Amino acid sequence: MRTKQSALAAALGVALAAAVAACGSSSPQASAPAPASTTTSQSGGHSSSVSPTALLSLSDAANITGDSAITERNATSSAVTYSDHNTGDTVYIVVSRTSVVNASALESAIAAYASGRGSYQQVSGIGDAAYEQTLSNEDGVPNEADLAFAKGNTIVAIGAISSTKNDSVLLTSIESVASRVAAQL
């Protein structure tokens, strides 16, 4: 299961990098507001880096998967993965800041990530733009759900695999955490 956990985080990291790259190549009009958003971020009190462990706690991960034995396995300045070595239950969050985020770039990145893995759909009410997908028992993986959203100049992805929750229940748990995270940004 560790290989699958790493693959999920890496694939979503690539999708986020694609979104960031696509945002950088967006139309000239999109880059014009950058000084205002920088000023807003500074005056709004937002730090330039957000700790993923502050946004998604060990308790959140346990609640999402329904696995109280889940522990932190790997954390960096932009991502954290929580997992249970025995069950393979896993939750991860990836946080990426960029100068400009647009919904079409995020949609393209998520579509590329979801390609060959299942369908994704747009979600309203989380951040400025959000997309999610679920997978049930594909490739021997128990149940899996992923959600990525953009808010301001931040892109966040949260995903999970659970051996006890079905994909729709798992996604509902992720949506709840994502809504809270979006409100914190």
Q: What residues does each domain of the chain span?
A: 2-25+50-184
The residue that leads in pLDDT, 92 or 24, is 92
pTM: 0.74
Q: Which tens digit of pLDDT belongs to each residue from 128-154? A: 888 888 876 656 555 889 898 888 888
Q: Which tens digit of pLDDT belongs to each residue from 1-29? A: 434 444 454 455 555 555 555 544 433 22
> What is the topology classification, in CATH, of domain 2-25+50-184?
Protein Transport Mog1p; Chain A (3.40.1000)
Return the number of other C-beta atoms located less than 10 Å from residue 19's C-beta. Answer: 27
Angle at 182 between CA 59 and CA 22, to 5 degrees: 120
Q: Which residues of 158-168 are buried (b: 16+ CB within 10 A; e: fewer)?
A: bbbbbbebebe
